[in-house]
Structure 1
Amino acid sequence: MFSIPSMKLKLLNAFALAVIIAVNGLANALPLNGQTTGSISDRLNVLFTPAGYVFSIWGVIYLLMILWVLRAFFAKPTEEHIYAGIGYTFILSCIFNVLWLFLFHYEIFYGTMAAILGLWLSLGVIYMKIKTNPRRGLLLVPISVYFGWVTVASITNIGVVLTSNGVRGWIIDGSWWTALAIAAASAAVILFYKKTGDVLYTLVFVWAFTGIFTQRWQEVNLVAWTAAAAALILFVQLFFRPKSKFTHL
């Protein structure tokens, strides 16, 4: 017998998502603490940060998550079971999302690492609860994109913390650290793809690395061409479907 998520949980999920969208919009419209998210990012100039257009992915994520939340109100019995299993984890992820935004705008950068880690872990739990259910339908699509992008953002956030504390060229030049981060992230994504066969998660990294190349190709060749190579490798591997115990997207 399937567990049915309460109407209260469905409404809270919808409210939490609405809060995220509203707070993110107001944070840049007001702006929060007198500065936009983009202006802080530009000032820090973290080498892992992609070109501005790449962040348009948030519009895609919000649209997909709106559909994901609304689907709960019209879910099939098998999908109801998945939503019930997720419980309040999605609301927890929303809390971490908003918390990160406030910490970032007030430049409490060490705190942002804790917040984004909480967001990443929350989405990871949701991802696995959906991914391991063979009757998930399309419920994983929004979470794959969101989880992938938060993974990219988490790596960038490490760069934010280091740069804000003057640690950019420790032992080796900052461009080498960034190139190594891109290589390590690419290796992790390849392993993740071999394990899960998740095309969308991988494509998020292709999008991000292409954006890093676009942002850096005229100033930091090592970072730019490492990002370009990583994007190409990740894209090509999508044509080789892995053997996985998970059902693919």
Structure 2
Amino acid sequence: MYRTNPFRWWNVLAFAAVITVNVLSHLLPLGGKTTKQISDQYYIYITPAGYAFTIWSLIYVLLAGFIFYQLRRDTGTRDSVEDIGIWFILSCIFNIAWLFLWHYLYIEWSVGIMLLLVLSVLVIYRKTRSIHYPTTGETLFVKLPFSIYLGWVCAAFVVNVGIVIHKNGWSPIGLTELGWSITLLCIGAVLAILISRHYRDSILPLVFVWAYLAISIEHKDVDKILLSSFILAAILFIYAIWLFFARNRERD
């Protein structure tokens, strides 16, 4: 008897809702301001150059690939898809909630929801990394989308934390804004290394490289930020290359 994934159509609806709210956030826009205008309103030392956010287009294209993959009769009932369960739907709910909170300037609450988004995508990521001998389809439509998605939401979470610190005028452990900005960059790099190391995932740290290079370009006039973000990007790039070859050696 043909099995069906009980979440497959809910996944479609949840993803459609995310795309719809994202489009409306730009067209209306939600709260009267675009996402970029709010980002400019809370501009900090680790705000990346605007082009960095185009990665969302790639993420949504890849997630659309996952949606179609999990709808197909021959692939939608694979364990790699069914193990994701309700977590993709939850990630969509948190994504939408973040957009509303961000656009209506509930910045502190938006960080809490962003953390839930990170955790939900992390659960999916860990499930997809347990696929030991993935098919080409599983590599492209199950593993890859959530590697890039997790990398970006982790980087975005670090920036969001910085915005909350800036907005409230906090000085964590007595650090200046420049000091805690560099500290957050280092924390993000460590996070990328810790998450990707166990799974030999060379893609996730490359997402941080993308973000950090965009930060260095945006703040090229601030020497310490330029140097810190560029050095961390270089370290993560070299690390990603090492992971790539380490994974291939283990396969051999």
- The answer, yes or no, to whether TM exceeds 0.5 is yes
Work out whether residues 179 and 223 of structure 1, in 8 Å CA contact, stay in contact via their aligned partners in 2. yes
Please name the residue that 1:230 is paired with.
Answer: 232
Q: Give the deviation of 1:152 after TM superposition.
A: 0.5
- Gaps (5+ residues) in structure 1? none
Deviations 1:10-49 (A, max 9, x none): 1111111111111011112111111111101101102222
Please name the residue that 2:167 is paired with.
Answer: 164
Q: Give the deviation of 1:114 after TM superposition.
A: 1.6
Partner SS state of residue 133, structure 1 = coil
Partner amino acid for 1:40?
Answer: I
Q: Give the deviation of 1:76 after TM superposition.
A: 4.2
Deviations 1:142-182 (A, max 9, x none): 00000110000111111121122122686222111111111
Please name the residue that 2:130 is paired with.
Answer: 132
Q: Structure 1 194/170 Cα, relative in aligned 2: closer, same or farther at 3 Å?
A: closer
CA–CA distance in 2 between the matches of 1:160 and 1:54? Answer: 17
CA–CA distance in 2 between the matches of 1:223 and 1:213? Answer: 7
After TM superposition, the structure 1 = structure 2 runs for residues 139-178 of structure 1, keeping only pairs within 5 Å, are 139-167=142-170, 171-178=174-181
One of 36, 39, 42 as aligned partner of 2:40: 42
CA–CA distance in 2 between the matches of 1:110 and 1:49? Answer: 17
Is 1:211 the counterpart of 2:209? The answer is: no
Work out whether residues 97 and 113 of structure 2, in 8 Å CA contact, stay in contact via their aligned partners in 1. yes
Is 1:32 the counterpart of 2:30? The answer is: yes
Deviates most, 27-36 or 71-80: 71-80
After TM superposition, the structure 1 = structure 2 runs for residues 62-73 of structure 1, keeping only pairs within 5 Å, are 62-73=60-71
Q: Structure 1 217/17 Cα, relative in aligned 2: closer, same or farther at 3 Å?
A: same
Please name the residue that 1:184 is paired with.
Answer: 187
CA–CA distance in 2 between the matches of 1:120 and 1:31? Answer: 25
Work out whether residues 96 and 118 of structure 1, in 8 Å CA contact, stay in contact via their aligned partners in 2. yes
Q: TM-score, normalised by structure 2?
A: 0.89
Deviations 1:79-118 (A, max 9, x none): 6212221111100110000001101111111211221111
- Gaps (5+ residues) in structure 2? none
Work out whether residues 36 and 105 of structure 1, in 8 Å CA contact, stay in contact via their aligned partners in 2. yes
CA–CA distance in 2 between the matches of 1:40 and 1:130? Answer: 34
Work out whether residues 3 and 80 of structure 1, in 8 Å CA contact, stay in contact via their aligned partners in 2. no
Q: TM-score, normalised by structure 1?
A: 0.90
Q: Give the deviation of 1:75 after TM superposition.
A: 5.9
Work out whether residues 194 and 243 of structure 1, in 8 Å CA contact, stay in contact via their aligned partners in 2. no
Q: Give the deviation of 1:184 after TM superposition.
A: 2.3
